[in-house]
Each structure stands twice: as C-alpha cells, then as structure tokens.
Amino acid sequence: MQDSIELILKQKIGLDPNSVGSRIIARALEQRQAACHLADQAEYLKLVKSSPQELNQLIEAVVVPETWFFRDQGAFEVLRNDAQQNHQTQIRILSVPCSTGEEPYSIAMTLLEVGLTPNQFQIDAVDISEHALAKAKKAIYRQHSFRGKSMPNLERYFQQIGDRYQVLPEVRRSVNFIQGNILEPHFLNAKQYHVIFCRNLLIYLDHSARQRTLDILDQALLPMGLLFLGSVETPQLTNRAYQLVEHSAAFAFRKQELKKAPSIESKLAPKKQATSVQSPHLSPLAPQTFLAESTLIPLETAQDLADRGQLVPAAELCESYIRTHPSQASAYLLLGKIYQGLNQMKQAEQSFHKAIYLNPENYEALIYLALLKEQQGNQIEANRLRKRAQRLIPSSSQSGNLL
C-alpha cells in the first residue's frame, strides 16, 4: 500500500521516497489515516486518490521545510554584487521553494541593503506547502531561524516581540507569496525573472522531476539571468547552458545567451584558490550587514572564507582548528564540505565519516555523505545513510512546524 502512496507522491510533487526515507512516509501515512478516522490503509489510499484536499494534507506531512535566514551566505554576496551592477528599472526575482519565508526575506534585505528601493525589485516566493506559506506571511521567527548567527542590523529589518522577531512591513511588502507546485508551473503565468533561487529542492526529487524542474526554471529565467542552487545540487546543471559565476560562492550560475554555450562541467572543477587566509575585514566581498566580524571564531571564519570561494585557506584554517579541537564533529563536517568544493572527494568522505563517528546524530554529515555515495553510484549505502538521517528529524519538522 505504501508503494502506491509513494507513487502518487512521486507523480504529484516528484518526491524521491529515498530522499526522506520510507519510515517518514509510513509515519505520515499513519498520522493522516488516524486524522481521517480510517480503519486501514486501503481506505486511506482510496481517499487520497479521490480527494485533492487530502493529497495536500499528505504532502504537508512529508515535505521538509528546513530553512533559515541567509542560508549559505555566499549566495547573498553574489546577489548583492549583481544588484549593484544591475541597470534594470525593476529586478524580478523568484524564490522557489520559499518554505517559511526566510529565503525571500533575506533576498529583500540584501537588496534594500545595497540601496534599492522596494519599487526597484519584485520577489515572487512560491512553495507547495500552505502551512509553510501561512508562517511566511506572518513573518514571525524564533532565534532558531537565524541558526545562531548574530545579525548586527537586526533592528533595521525586524521588530522584537517577546522572544520572537517579526520582519518589518517594508520588507514584507516586497515579497509576493504564491502557493504552487513547481512541476505544474501555470502559477508563473509565463513570467520571466532576472534571478531565480531554487535551493534545497532538487535533492528531494527523483531524476525525471529534477530535469523537469530545471527545464521549467530555464524557461522562467531570462538570458544572462542568475540561477542559485543548493550547495550539493550543482551537478544537476551539467550539460546545460549555464556558467558558474566567477569569484563567488560556487552555487550561482549565469544563464548563457547562446544555445551553444560551454558546458559547465569544466567550471565545476576546483575554484580559483587564494593562497593565504584573508581577513574578512579586508575582503572587498565582505558582507557589510549580517556578519558579526568581531566575534568570528576560527570555524566561522573558515566557513566565511569557504562561502567566498577561498577554499584552500578555509581548509587550512579548519585543519589547524582540528589539531587543537580533535573531537569537534562540526569542524570535520565543514572540512568535508570544503574538500568537496576542492574536488578532493576521498578527503571529503573521510571528513564526513569522522564527523559522524564523533557525533552519530550529525544530520548534515549523514546527508552529505549520502549524496557523495550517490555520486559514486553506491545507492544502497546512500539510502542507508539517508534513512539514518531521517530518523533524526523530529516529527514537528516533518509536518512543517518550525516555529
């Protein structure tokens, strides 16, 4: 019975059951069956097939709404640099999936910060989850949505309400939330965008849904527009006419004007490397707003360097930190990601293993290692790691309940 449900989810939202794990789907099924007061799964299957509302409820129960403000800082630096050079009268941006809103609001804050006025840009933010969108529209967040990063200009864009923070109306007004399924893109009304953020969705989709999503995004992106993907999703663009944006984080791609643009395969090779550790204070790319530079500790500095594409000094800093803190799982996780960026897959694998050995509940390390195994063609090991990671996700996150 679960196979039939998984097939429905695959057809509707492109979900690869291995990406969330069969156990999560089984739990979602049990929850929905109980909520509908149905005696067995066969009855529930009938209901899901006949009721679009119930299918939506099931989708709510399986999607992963994990997100936070300024996730992968490098993307926002690229956006900022691009906006500064952009001469459009109005920049159109699509954030899909936007989940609970942290991503599109981070985009808006980045553009306001470079001096654009709200009428100089327009952000459409799309997600399939009504639940996530309801939270996005309320725009009230707990500390968790900042993932421990201090935001010096917090008061410029947020109003504090007790222990929560609400995004100010000026920022909220610039984001237009839309409920939609990326695989059924009629909600876009054939609109085209200068910038598209599509991060941390492809990893949950099966192969054909990934390709279809990329085709849809390709149609929605203007020539020379920018496409942002998640850090482990970039190989999906191979053989498409996109170029990695130079001197930046590795996950932004410029759509080429000509059909016969060079493949990005060569661009996915290790990035240009700096030879020394630069102080974040001196770098011209230093984010002016959301980095608490004076309080940066070595790992944060290493992360920051890595976000700027300075992978060799980032690795050096990480390694020297590990020499004095040999049992810190997060340091190995970061080092693994940096090695991955440097295309040193063996070292990346060892680092992820070490991170998991030190902290068997390190969700991110499990997912990174799973993706790496997948790339190596070891699907069995990848599935095992993904299942292990999924067992760590609290049921509240699975149902979109972040706040």
Ligand X SMILES: C[S@@+](CC[C@H](N)C(=O)[O-])C[C@H]1O[C@@H](n2cnc3c(N)ncnc32)[C@H](O)[C@@H]1O
Among 24, 61, 64, 109, binds ligand X (CB under 6 A): 64
252 binds ligand X, rule: CB under 6 A: no
Rounded to whole angstroms, the maximal C-alpha distance in the chain is 65
- Residue from the set 5, 6, 9, 13 that interacts with ligand X by CB under 6 A: 13
Question: Does residue number 124 form part of the binding site for ligand X (CB under 6 A)?
Answer: no
Residue (107 or 317) nearer to ligand X, CB: 107
Under DSSP, is residue 276 helix (H, G, I), strand (E, B) or coil? coil
String of contacts with ligand X for each residue 67-106, x by CB under 6 A: x---x-------------------------x-x---x---
**How near is the Cβ of 198 to ligand X at its closest, in Å?**
7
Residues in the chain, overall count: 403
Nearer to ligand X, 136 or 318 (CB): 136
Instruction: State which residue, 200 or 301, has the beta carbon closest to ligand X.
Output: 200
Q: Does 201 bind ligand X (CB under 6 A)?
A: yes
**Residue 346: alpha-carbon gap to chain centroid:** 25
Q: Which of 77, 135, 90 is nearest to 117 (CA)?
A: 90
Kindly tell me which residue out of 128, 188, 285, 291 binds ligand X, with binding defined by CB under 6 A.
128
| Residue 374 binding ligand X, by CB under 6 A | no
Q: How far apart are the first and last CA of the chain?
A: 33
In the bound state with ligand X, the residue whose beta carbon lies nearer, of 110 and 301, is 110
Question: Per CB under 6 A, which of residues 181..200 are in contact with ligand X?
Answer: 181-183, 199-200
Q: Which is nearer to ligand X, 47 or 61 (CB)?
A: 61
Q: Determine, following the binding rule CB under 6 A, whether residue 66 of this chain makes contact with ligand X.
A: yes
Beta pairing, strands 158-161 & 252-255: unpaired
Cβ(280)–Cβ(77) below 8 Å = no
Please state the closest distance from residue 209 (CB atom) to ligand X, in A: 8
Instruction: Give buried/exposed letters for 265-304 (b at 16+ CB in 10 A, else e).
Output: eebeeebeebeebbebeeeebebebbbeeeebeebbbbbb
Tell whether residue 19 is a contact of ligand X (CB under 6 A).
no
Give the nearest distance from C-beta 82 to ligand X in angstroms: 18
CB of 181 to ligand X, least distance (A): 4
Q: How far are the Cα atoms of 68, 151, 354 from residue 230, in angstroms, in the given order?
A: 13, 22, 23
| Choice between 194 and 199, CB closer to ligand X | 199
Min dist CB 166 to ligand X, Å, is: 19
Nearest Cα neighbor of 393 from 18, 56, 127, 20 is 20
DSSP characters over 359-395: -TT-HHHHHHHHHHHHHTT-HHHHHHHHHHHHTTS-H
Question: Can you tell me the distance from the alpha carbon of 330 to that of 8, in angstroms, rounded to the nearest whole number?
Answer: 37
Cβ-based nearer residue to ligand X, 97 or 287: 97
Any contact of residue 63 with ligand X (CB under 6 A)?
yes
Residue 63 or 91: the one with the smaller Cβ distance to ligand X is 63
* Shortest Cβ 397–ligand X spacing (Å): 10
Rg from Cα positions in the chain:
21
Q: Tokens representing 93?
A: 């941006």
What is the DSSP secondary structure assignment for residue 145, as one 8-state letter? G
**Least gap, CB of 310 to ligand X (angstroms):** 23
By CB under 6 A, tell whether 351 contacts ligand X.
no
Q: Which is nearer to ligand X, 64 or 108 (CB)?
A: 64
Residue the block writes with tokens 């952000």: 123
Contacts of ligand X in 148-187 (CB under 6 A): 181-183
Task: Please give the distance of CA 246 from its chain centroid, rounded to a whole number.
Answer: 20
Q: Which residues bind ligand X (CB under 6 A)?
A: 13-14, 63-67, 71, 97, 99, 103, 127-129, 132, 181-183, 199-201, 230
